[in-house]
Amino acid sequence: MASSSPSSSSAVKRLSNLNNHLCPTNSNPLVKVSAQVSQALSTGLPVVALESTIISHGMPYPQNLETAKEVEAIVRDNGAVPATIAILDGVPCIGLNLEQLERLARMGKSAQKTARRDIAYVVATKRNGATTVSATMFFAAMVGIPVFVTGGIGGVHRHGEHTMDISSDLTELGRTPVAVVSAGVKSILDIPRTLEYLETQGVCVAAYKTNEFPAFFTETSGCKVPCRLDSPEECARLIDANRKLNLGNGVLIAVPIAKEYSASGSLIESAIQQALTEARGKNITGNAETPFLLARVNEITGGASLASNIALVKNNAAIGAKISVALAQLLK
């Protein structure tokens, strides 16, 4: 992992020593931003948004807490400030302290999986919500965080041409100017149709150091991308141009999983087909389907898919932080 510049690292370390209490720093009184994130944003330091559904719904406790802490540490080690986003007791929080991270991790699936459509309800009823890609993008844009790191985005579900089951992540990318760094689209989904839908939404889809769109657990999907980026600086220039042109949409930067963690495509596909058959037999649909499929694929592969999932999130965090640093330097 490449080291960050001395000035960036020292600034982030100084911010780490701040009391990470919550305080409002934007015009919306319903949203609270941590002191560390607030100061970083106000001084032009790089900030990386992180979702919370992966903590509550992606893996069991305490593995979820350890992964969340490790991902935040990777962001810091690469010169940026992490801002994990969640809704706690009806309050959207941008940047969580350790106590809040642990609370969310212990909640697990009792925290509501919160997409854009659910935000108002979770806030109004003072519930706890773990933000998906769409909700995290919404809040990141609200407070001015331009880069968001996740594992994989949602997409068009298999047989989506009949069910119309299309993730709100895709429409959010079409209307919210935040760059999303992910390992592509989860391979349990219909990747070609997902890319077609993103094109319809006007979303720039780029792959990092490859010409092919990655498929989450594997490096390749068989789908070519319209543009390739080979460095954090190239990514930063694309994000900067997209924002300055006021295109109004996000950018998807797809980062392939590291070769040593790439699962066998045939193994994963076989597990996915089995999981899909079971989901249909149990009538599991909507936002419950993806967590079920990922959990079953992990069981069928003997834990290999979860290990790959954690590895790709960490890799994305390192690259996303470098992109955020490059963008902050460009904006100076």
* Phi and psi, residue 276, nearest 5°: -65, -40
Element (H, E) at 104: helix 98-107
Contacts of 225 (CB under 8 A, 6+ apart): 205, 206, 207, 210, 211, 212, 213, 254
Both tokens of 273, joined, read: 């087909």
Residue 272 CB burial class (10 angstroms; 0-12, 13-18, ≥19): buried
Confirm if 95 and 72 have CB atoms less than 8 A apart: no
Both tokens of 116, joined, read: 């854009």
Instruction: Considering the candidates 186, 234, 289, 322, report the single residue annotated as catalytic.
Output: 186
Instruction: Considering the candidates 32, 51, 113, 314, report the single residue annotated as catalytic.
Output: 51
Confirm if 193 and 161 have CB atoms less than 8 A apart: yes
For the chain, what percentages of helix, strand and coil (3-state, to nearest 5) are there? 50, 15, 30
Residue 21 CB burial class (10 angstroms; 0-12, 13-18, ≥19): exposed
Query: Is 186 one of the catalytic residues?
Result: yes
Cα 169 to Cα 2: distance, rounded to the nearest angstrom: 30
Cα 243 to Cα 146: distance, rounded to the nearest angstrom: 9
Query: Is 224 one of the catalytic residues?
Result: no
Q: State in Å, rounded, how far the first CA of the chain is from the last one.
A: 25
Quote the Cα angle for 124-130-134, to 5°: 90
Catalytic positions, written as ranges: 51, 186
